[in-house]
Amino acid sequence: MPVTDPDRRTEARWARELESMLGPGQVLATPSARKAYDCDAYTIDKSKPSVVVLPETTEQVRDVVRWCNRNQVPYTPRGAGTGLSGGALAAMGGVLISTKRMTRILEVDLPNRCLRAQAGAVNKRISESVAHAGLHFAPDPSSQTVSTLGGNIAENSGGPHTLKYGVTVQHVLALTMVDVDGEIVQVGSKVPGGPGLDLLGVLIGSEGTMGVVTEAWVRLTPNPAKVETVLASFATVRDATQTVADIIAAGTIPAALEMMDEGIMKAVSLAFGLVYPEGAKALLLIECDGDPDAVAGEMRTVLDICAKHGAMDVAVAADEAERQKLWTARKKGIGAMGRIAPTIVTQDGVIPRSKLPEMLDRISEVAARRGIGIANIFHAGDGNLHPCMYFDDRDPAQVEAAVAAGEEILEVCLDLGGSLSGEHGIGVEKIGLMERMFGREGLDLMMDVRRIFNDGDLCNPCKILPNQKGCVEHMRRWRGAAW
């Protein structure tokens, strides 16, 4: 059994041993450091690690994992801690392995359009490092100025441009990871699609439960020659969702197709003084990119469809400055919500696109019944919702209402044939709904697949799969620790 309840002296010994192994300043064990690392961006559940380590190389990660194995101490990988489902929560305490100091770009292969970086490299920095060559790393989570490659890989992150370019799994060629036995292994290849099992396809999106990724080869995508951005407002949510459906059905795949409802529009108006037409109930942000001729054709289709559904106001960006302005509501929408409510929690369900109108009705019904506010901002093109619940977390009743509303919304997603998560992962947050989505047999199969890579209980325990040994009792301590 893992050592999950060490006393202070044991923890102090762990810190000393790890520091002598790694180096001065690479171990944090003060009460304030442990508190700073007691959750990620999902702040409802909290659990302090005993020690935080800051390795700089793959070999140091290996040494830490081996140390954890020898001492039966649980460990949890962590990138920038922007995860929204508690994936980087040290659920059983132990060692938190932070990739904060593993930020180097190691090798750039321009002719083959790929690059090798350490897991702690920040998403945006990867693109910046090859901007001179007209290339970028396509996954663009809204957190990209801080979130790390390792976190993106673990969560299989997407972003506004996922609709056309795919999520992280489409852009990672190979990984170096320290497996749960403390061995350094490579998975995948610079030349994708070879014979045998798609191990990479399973490791990407496994939320750090199958080992610690230390480096990766990623694909680089040419920057589009032309980008056109449209912001259209609509009198009803239904007009906007029907516009989305028609654009997709026409075979046009915009680079981004994002929707914001009235709640977001109000918040953005308050925060940034942006003005939208009187009576507008929904905004669509549509971006087409690529070859200039193709973009021109796509834009004609998009504008026709917007007009057909009675778009009230259609703004097309004339230059990059205007483009950034049109993106404001999308990029800063959640932040703007944060200004009008003390607490916001963003949910992340997915539904088949055609169910969007019905889903939005159900969400407002849940909000009204639970007595909390919900605004909607989402990747409409792929049916990925981000209902943004706003409330005051100083009031335990409101926290409970928000948690219950979130679960109810996810259950509706499942009823409509969708998924519990499009981007944020399961972590500890949605673990209770996994059986509802996959059934006992589905979870058994996932457990067997986890065992291929991780047959123990030390590597990021208590995540994704319910009913893991020891987790249920432990959960009582961190569940709702913020309440």
- For other proteins, the binding residues in 440-479 under the rule CB under 8 A are 441-446, 448-453, 464-465
Candidates 423, 462, 450; CA nearest to 203 is 450
User: Pick from 57, 223, 354, 364: which binds other proteins (CB under 8 A)?
Assistant: 354
| 183-212: contacts with other proteins (CB under 8 A) | 183, 185-187, 189-199, 201-202, 204-206
Q: How many residues belong to the site for other proteins (CB under 8 A)?
A: 77
Q: Which does 199 bind (CB under 5 to 8 A by kind): other proteins, ligand FAD, none?
A: other proteins
Q: Which does 189 bind (CB under 5 to 8 A by kind): ligand FAD, other proteins, none?
A: other proteins
Candidates 223, 226, 222, 235; CA nearest to 323 is 226
Site string for other proteins, 27-46 (x = CB under 8 A): --------------------
> Which amino acid, residue 245?
A
- Which residues are CB-neighbours of 125 under 8 A, at least 6 positions away? 103, 105
Residue 423 CA to residue 416 CA, distance in Å, equals 18
Contact status: 301 vs other proteins (CB under 8 A): no
Contact status: 118 vs ligand FAD (CB under 6 A): no
Q: Which does 387 bind (CB under 5 to 8 A by kind): other proteins, ligand FAD, none?
A: none
User: Pick from 80, 271, 286, 295: which binds ligand FAD (CB under 6 A)?
Assistant: 80
Site string for other proteins, 221-260 (x = CB under 8 A): ------------------------x--xxxxxx-------
Q: Which does 119 bind (CB under 5 to 8 A by kind): ligand FAD, other proteins, none?
A: ligand FAD
Contact status: 99 vs ligand FAD (CB under 6 A): yes
Backbone angles phi, psi at 426, to 5 degrees: -95, -45
Hunting for tokens 């792929």 — which residue is that? 382
Write out the E strands in 189-309: 212-219, 221-222, 226-234, 256-261, 282-290
**Distance set, CA 38 to CA 33, 77, 399, 468 (Å):** 9, 13, 19, 21
Pick left, alpha or beta for residue 81 (phi over 0 → left; psi -120 to 50 → alpha; otherwise beta): left
> Which amino acid, residue 106?
L
Q: At closest approach, how far in Å is the CB of 168 from ligand FAD?
A: 8
Contact status: 140 vs other proteins (CB under 8 A): no
131-161 burial: b if 16+ Cβ within 10 Å, else e: eeeebbbbbbbbbbeebbbbbbbbbbbbbbb
Residue 269 CA to residue 272 CA, distance in Å, equals 6
Contact status: 218 vs ligand FAD (CB under 6 A): no
Q: Which does 202 bind (CB under 5 to 8 A by kind): other proteins, ligand FAD, none?
A: other proteins
| 410-429: contacts with ligand FAD (CB under 6 A) | 423-424
Q: Which is nearer to other proteins, 185 or 368 (CB)?
A: 185
Q: Are 116 and 144 in contact (CB under 8 A)?
A: no
User: Pick from 91, 119, 264, 288: which binds ligand FAD (CB under 6 A)?
Assistant: 119
| 423-442: contacts with other proteins (CB under 8 A) | 423-426, 430, 434, 437-439, 441-442
Residue 153 CA to residue 321 CA, distance in Å, equals 31
- Which residues are CB-neighbours of 105 under 8 A, at least 6 positions away? 115, 116, 117, 118, 121, 125, 126, 129
Task: List contacts with ligand FAD (CB under 6 A).
Answer: 40-41, 76-84, 87-88, 99, 119, 141-143, 147-148, 150-152, 154-155, 157-159, 207-208, 212-213, 423-424, 460
